[in-house]
Amino acid sequence: MAHCDEDCSWFLFASPDSRTDSWVVKSYVGKHTCSREWELTQFIAKYLAAKYLEKFRADDKMSLRNFARIVQADYNMTPSRSKLARARRLAMKQIYGDELKQYNLLWDYSAEIRRSNPGSRMFLNLSDGKFSSMYISLDACKRGFLLGCRPFICIDGCHLKTKFGGQLLTAVGVDPNDCIFPIAMALVEVEDTPTWKWFLQTLKEDLGIENTSQWTLMSDRQKGLINAVNALFPDSTTP
């Protein structure tokens, strides 16, 4: 049995029928005499996140405006912008995981890299007990670069659009097929001369580079980067 509000005439009664082995509607009054309810207590951010999880998985760049249009089309209701934002945040957290928890797993990941890939390097630096920077290079990439690639390194950095931000510094080579060959990367808080010096010094030691005159480095020649290159690779060619 189902009914609407106490003062509403809408009513439905159904019971199982042994002859047809199914439910049969015995009584039904389809007319509502109550006013429409515009507030639904279950229409919360958690519900919206679960309802549209797969849509966010397919389009993780969905804007709040497009999200509101989808909800409006499905329910003929438009939640507040703050509720939509909370729902999107919950959905993305479920898809990609909690970023803080992922940072806490970096130490375990670093230990596993060194255990399962002997010769690889991955270490993290802390500042006031918090994550500051990270360097990683896999042994197979280093050996492949030194054995099969030219002494040519491209270095660059880019912004990380995550909750905590930061900069990703990369060093890549060029293989015999003129394709990109990864060498090493680092995650730092800011891109400046000290962080570039730290990255290039670590890379230099990692690859065992002593005579820099044989090497060519290519970069966008930003101020902090070019100072670091001049300090650590003074004899290299920098196109």
Q: What is the percent of the chain with per-residue pLDDT over 70, rounded to a whole number? A: 96
pLDDT tens-digit series, residues 185-209: 999 998 889 999 999 999 999 999 9
Of 161 and 155, which is predicted with more confidence? 155
Is the same domain home to 76 and 135? no
The answer to whether residues 212 and 123 belong to one domain is yes
Q: Same structural domain for residues 85 and 69?
A: yes
Q: Are residues 224 and 144 in the same domain?
A: yes
Establish if 199 belongs to a structural domain: yes
198 inside domain: yes
Assess if residue 107 is contained within a domain: no
Same domain, 145 and 191: yes
Domain around 182 = 117-232
Other beta carbons within 10 angstroms of residue 132's beta carbon come to 15
* Single-letter code of the amino acid located at 161: K
pLDDT value at 40 more than 70: no
* Mean pLDDT within 164-177: 92
Predicted local distance difference test score (pLDDT) of residue 46: 92
91 near 56, Cβ under 8 Å? yes
Structure tokens at 70: 């989808």
| 217 C-beta neighbours (distance < 10 Å), count | 21
Q: pLDDT by residue (tens digit) across 53-104?
A: 999 989 988 999 999 999 999 988 888 899 999 999 999 888 887 777 888 8
pTM for the structure as a whole = 0.65
Closest CA relative to residue 49, chosen from 100, 95, 81 = 95
**47/18 same-domain check:** no
Question: Domain check: are 3 and 90 in the same one?
Answer: no
Question: How many CB atoms within 10 Å of residue 137?
Answer: 24
140 in a domain, yes or no? yes
At 123-141, the pLDDT tens digits run 999 888 888 899 999 999 9
Q: Is the pLDDT of residue 182 over 90?
A: yes
